[in-house]
């Protein structure tokens, strides 16, 4: 399944200026369906009010070992958690955790839990680089604690350097990865995304309405499930941390980049909307309006998907997409057969809320022994259904 439905995450917030970013981490986790239980230290409340987290999270914020009806709140929190996330994690917290000092509810909880723990350090550069902090982080890593390294950038006080809390999206991506099935671990997954743009002259292009949202959702889902991901895309959208990003514009550029990488890919997902035609002659300069409408002579673009199907090696999974406006199943089944695909994902782009530019989609997934209708849902959920089908095919 996509996201984190029903997963119980304890979100620990310690007393650093970056505590305000934990509000966005909380919101994003809840948006993914997680049940978020916030725990704030006393110093954290100097930076962000407890009411903020209580309003956004799934339960009221916890702040003390002594103000809970449960006589052992830290044990109970540790037992129910699927994951504990500490964002930000201050130098003081890292030292206490490494030393096993349970001086407050949060440190007692991380010591009491057997769930995975993800710490996200944030502090000034000199503190982050101090030998004691680095030794404490190394100690925690050896014990199996997961760490999202801080970023470099502007710090409190205006300095520039390392130690800034990682972005909320990076933290949430790592949390999702830790809680996702790692059924694509060790696999190389190549994903294409966006619509190609074929030049008419120095200014104008032939394009389509693809936003790239579905392709990039597939990339994030594959990364969360353990894959090494390459994204060949025409759109300026985020890609998963660690993914290879290849920017292209035209069908010919996409063909060259995809073919250069396809041989080493275990799974190729062609979610891009590749133009079927391009101008045979491209004007070097802008065509002036006063010369009248130009007569465009079009020629076919390379059929990247068919080319991949012709050279597909044994064991490789090739997934195509079909954007249709009629005869959805018939057209999809024909494309599946003609292009030697393992799976095809078809959608009616004329349906309300589906297809180009929307955050939602509804699709038909076809393959050998596979026929699944996925009703209207967000594109990350569509991505999960597609990759579930890939995993099922690899198991046969």
CATH 3.40.50.10300 domain range(s) in the chain: 188-395
CATH 3.40.50.1950 domain range(s) in the chain: 8-179
pLDDT of residue 1: 44
How high is the mean pLDDT in each 10-residue block of the chain (396 residues)? 83 96 97 95 95 95 82 84 97 97 94 95 95 96 93 84 93 92 95 97 94 95 94 95 95 98 97 96 92 91 96 96 94 97 95 87 95 93 95 94
- Exactly one of 208, 331, 347, 373 is catalytic; name it: 208
pLDDT of residue 215: 97
Task: Give pTM, 2 decimals.
Answer: 0.79
Active site residue 188: no
Distance CA(231)–CA(265), nearest Å, equals 12
Tokens coding 22: 């934990």
Distance CA(122)–CA(18), nearest Å, equals 7
Q: SS3 for the chain, per residue? A: CCCCCCCEEEEEECCCCCHHHHHHHHHHHHHCCCEEEEEECCCHHHCCCHHHHHHHCCCCCECCCCCCCCCCHHHHHHHHCCEEEEEEECHHHHHHHHHCCCCCHHHHHHHHCCCCEEEEECCCHHHHCCHHHHHHHHHHHHCCCEECCCEEEECCCCCEEEEECCCHHHHHHHHHHHHCCCCCCCCEEEEEECECCEECCCCCEECCCCCCHHHHHHHHHHHHCCCEEEEEECCCCCCCCCCEEEECCCHHHHHHHHHHHHCCCCEEEECCECCCEEECCCCCCCCCHHHCCCCCCEEECCCHHHHHHHHCCCCCEEEEEEEECCCHHHHHHHHHHHCCCCEEEEEECCCCCCCCCCCEEEEEEEECCEEEEEEEEEHHHHHHHHHHHHHHHHHC
Distance CA(375)–CA(373), nearest Å, equals 6
pLDDT of residue 378: 87
Question: Which one is the CATH code of 188-395: 3.60.20.10, 3.30.1310.10, 3.40.50.10300, 3.40.50.720?
Answer: 3.40.50.10300
Whether 197 contacts 207, CB under 8 Å: yes
**How many angstroms separate the Cα of 270 from the Cα of each of 194, 216, 241, 360, 386?**
10, 11, 21, 18, 12
Burial (CB count within 10 angstroms: exposed 0-12, middle 13-18, buried 19+), residue 352: exposed
State the fold for domain 8-179: Rossmann fold (3.40.50)
């Amino acid at each position: 399944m996509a996201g984190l439905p029903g997963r119980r995450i304890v979100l620990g917030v310690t007393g650093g200026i970056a505590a305000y970013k934990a509000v966005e981490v909380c919101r994003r986790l809840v948006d993914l369906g997680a049940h978020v239980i916030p725990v704030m230290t006393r110093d954290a409340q100097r930076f962000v009010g407890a009411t903020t987290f209580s309003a956004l999270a799934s339960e009221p914020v916890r702040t003390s070992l002594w103000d809970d009806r449960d006589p052992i709140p830290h044990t109970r929190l540790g037992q129910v958690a699927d994951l504990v996330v500490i964002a930000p994690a201050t130098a003081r917290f890292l030292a206490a955790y490494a030393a096993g000092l349970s001086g407050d509810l949060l440190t007692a909880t991380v010591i009491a839990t057997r769930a995975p723990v993800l710490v996200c350090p944030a502090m000034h550069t000199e503190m982050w680089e101090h030998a004691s902090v680095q030794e404490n982080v190394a100690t925690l890593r050896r014990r199996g604690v997961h760490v999202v390294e801080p970023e470099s950038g502007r710090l409190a006080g205006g300095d520039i350097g390392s130690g800034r809390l990682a972005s909320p999206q990076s933290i949430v991506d790592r949390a999702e990865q830790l809680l996702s099935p790692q059924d694509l671990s060790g696999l190389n997954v190549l994903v294409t995304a966006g619509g190609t743009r074929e030049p008419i002259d120095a200014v104008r292009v032939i394009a389509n309405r693809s936003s790239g949202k579905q392709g990039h959702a597939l990339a994030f889902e594959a990364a969360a499930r353990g894959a090494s991901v390459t994204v060949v895309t025409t759109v300026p959208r985020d890609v998963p941390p660690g993914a290879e990003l290849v920017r292209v514009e035209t069908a010919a550029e996409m063909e060259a980049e995809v073919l250069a990488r396809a041989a080493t890919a275990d799974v190729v997902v062609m979610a891009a909307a590749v133009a079927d035609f391009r101008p045979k002659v491209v004007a070097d300069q802008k065509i002036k309006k006063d010369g009248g409408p130009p007569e465009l002579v079009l020629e076919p673009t390379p059929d990247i998907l068919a080319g991949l199907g012709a050279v597909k090696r044994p064991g490789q999974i090739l997934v195509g997409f079909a954007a249709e406006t009629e005869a959805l199943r018939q057209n999809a089944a024909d494309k599946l057969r003609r292009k030697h695909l393992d799976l095809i994902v078809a959608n009616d782009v004329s349906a309300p809320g589906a297809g180009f530019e929307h955050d939602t989609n509804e699709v038909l997934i076809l393959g050998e022994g596979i026929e699944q209708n996925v009703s209207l849902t967000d594109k990350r959920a569509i991505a999960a259904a597609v990759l579930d089908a890939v995993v099922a095919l690899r198991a046969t």
